[in-house]
Structure 1
Amino acid sequence: MYYTYILRCSDNSLYTGITADINRRMSEHFSQNEKCAKYTRTHKAAKLESVWISENRATASKLEYHIKQLTKKQKENIISDKSLALLSKIIPIGNYKYSDIELNIQSK
């Protein structure tokens, strides 16, 4: 199982990524340790906005790619709608399930 996610940073910018372990990855982003993305090292992660679950890395990577091509306004629409309807003409959105995941992040 893979997760495609959108993070909101403290400067209100949005970061999109994928992971197989959402708790570990969020811990890395929020702690700004050496394993976090370069972007979240300089733009402090503030909130996990949306998460979609897919069966494999290839499917998750396709969603990540298509989300990264969107404008910020389009990404905000995806976050508020909790839907990938905007991408339905590009990718088979049935391959993705929105998740209201509960994070278990431990501070170091």
Structure 2
Amino acid sequence: MPVTNKNKPWFVYLLRCINGTLYCGVTNDIDKRLRQHNGEIKGGAKYTRANGPCELVHQEPAKDRSSAQKREYEIKEMPRIEKMRLVNKT
């Protein structure tokens, strides 16, 4: 039986763009999402495609999409120094 997206775990992630900025997002397929952000396949944020290539520098699991989005909001509200602490833990 194939794995569907509903059964895949959710993650919050941080990317470091070529210009040094950090981009935060959520996904249930990190490899695919990174390829989208780097313009290898269709999709991804316009910002990351324009400032790529991007490197995955932090990821953390979430119990579901809603939890991932709440954590994404928390991270986006953090000052850069706190985001860098997350990156340096990884």
TM-score scaled to structure 2, two decimals? 0.82
Structure 2 stretches of 5 or more lacking a match? 1-8
Which runs of no fewer than 5 residues in structure 1 stay unpaired?
Answer: 83-108
Aligned residue among 50, 59, 65 for 1:51: 59
Partner of 2:6: none
Structure 1 moving runs of 4+ over 6 Å? none
Q: What is the rounded CA distance, in whole Å, between the counterparts of 2:49 and 2:41 in structure 1?
A: 8
Number of positions where the alignment pairs a residue of Structure 1 with one of Structure 2: 82
**Residues 3 and 48 from structure 1, CA distance in 2 versus in 1: closer, same or farther, beyond 3 angstroms?**
same
- Aligned identity (percent) is 32
Residue from 23, 36, 44 that aligns with 1:15? 23
Residues 9, 28 of structure 1: alpha-carbon distance in 2 compared, 3 angstrom cutoff: same
Give the TM-score normalised by structure 1.
Answer: 0.69
Partner of residue 24, structure 1: 32
Name the amino acid aligned to 1:53. Answer: P
* 1:74 paired to 2:82: yes
Quick one: which of 4, 8, 16 aligns to 2:12?
Answer: 4
Q: Please tell me whether the aligned partners of residues 33 and 41 of structure 1 are also in contact (alpha carbons under 8 angstroms).
A: no
The letter for the 2-side match of 1:23 is D
Aligned-pair Cα RMSD in Å: 1.4
> What letter is aligned with 1:47?
E
Secondary structure of 1:12's aligned partner: coil
Q: Which deviations, in whole Å up to 9, do the C-alpha atoms of 1:3-41 show, x marking residues without a partner?
A: 100000000000000011111111111236541112102
* 1:19–1:25 contact (8 Å) kept in structure 2: yes
